[in-house]
Amino acid sequence: MTDLRGKIVVVAFIYTRCADVCPLLTAKMAGLQERLGADFGRNVVFASITVDPERDTPGVLARYARTHRADLPGWTFLTGRRADIEGVALRYGVVMRKTADGSVDHNLLTSIVDRRGVMRVQYLGTRFDPDEFLADLRSVLREGRRQ
């Protein structure tokens, strides 16, 4: 995993078998990684955490990352034990529930966490404006450079 010390982290919760909002969010983040230019990976990193750890193994997540043009190691895809992921998700305000058909219901929150580990902004769903998101991200970047 990428060293996160001194970096701004964009955190999202997704799963690879999602048929609707997760691929949309991942595509939006892929566009943002390109727009960040040299700051991506050096000052800003993305962390996508699966809400379906039983099926989203490291290999499955690696294929998903390649499919979505994720620039590794600036973008990390994480899995782990369900209990650990649920605990992290709750701290970000994400609630998840496995359904009878095997999909995962979860609220879609994307968070910007500053260099000190403080959550600064959260976006709900996939309809957020990428220009607004980028402006918020760059504002947090500028703050960190002044300190």
The domain segmentation of the chain, as residue ranges, is 8-142
Tokens of 124: 């709900």
CA 126, CA 25: separation in Å to the nearest integer?
5
pLDDT of residue 128: 87
Q: Of 31, 6, 2, give the one whose Cα is nearest residue 134.
A: 31
Please name the residues in contact with 67: beta carbons below 8 A apart, sequence gap of 6 or more. none
DSSP letters spanning 68-127: TT--TTTEEEE---HHHHHHHHHHTT--EEE-TTS-EEE--EEEEE-TTS-EEEEEESS-
Q: For residue range 39-56, what is the model confidence (pLDDT) as tens digits?
A: 999 999 999 999 999 999
| pLDDT > 70? residue 142 | yes
Specify the CATH class of 8-142 in words.
alpha beta
CB 45 within 8 A of CB 75: yes
Residue 3 has pLDDT above 70, yes or no: no
Reported as a pLDDT band with limits 50, 70 and 90, residue 127 is confident
Residue 2, pLDDT > 90, answer: no
At residue 6, the pLDDT reads 85
With cut-offs at 50, 70 and 90, classify the pLDDT of residue 143. Answer: confident
Report field, pTM of the whole predicted structure over 0.75: yes
Positive or negative, the Cα torsion across 74, 79, 82, 83? Answer: negative
Distance CA 26, CA 67 (A): 10
Q: Read off the pLDDT of residues 72-112 as tens digits, 9 standing for 90 and up.
A: 989 999 999 999 999 999 999 999 998 998 889 999 999 99
Q: What is the pLDDT of residues 14-45, one digit of tens each?
A: 999 998 899 999 999 999 999 999 999 999 99
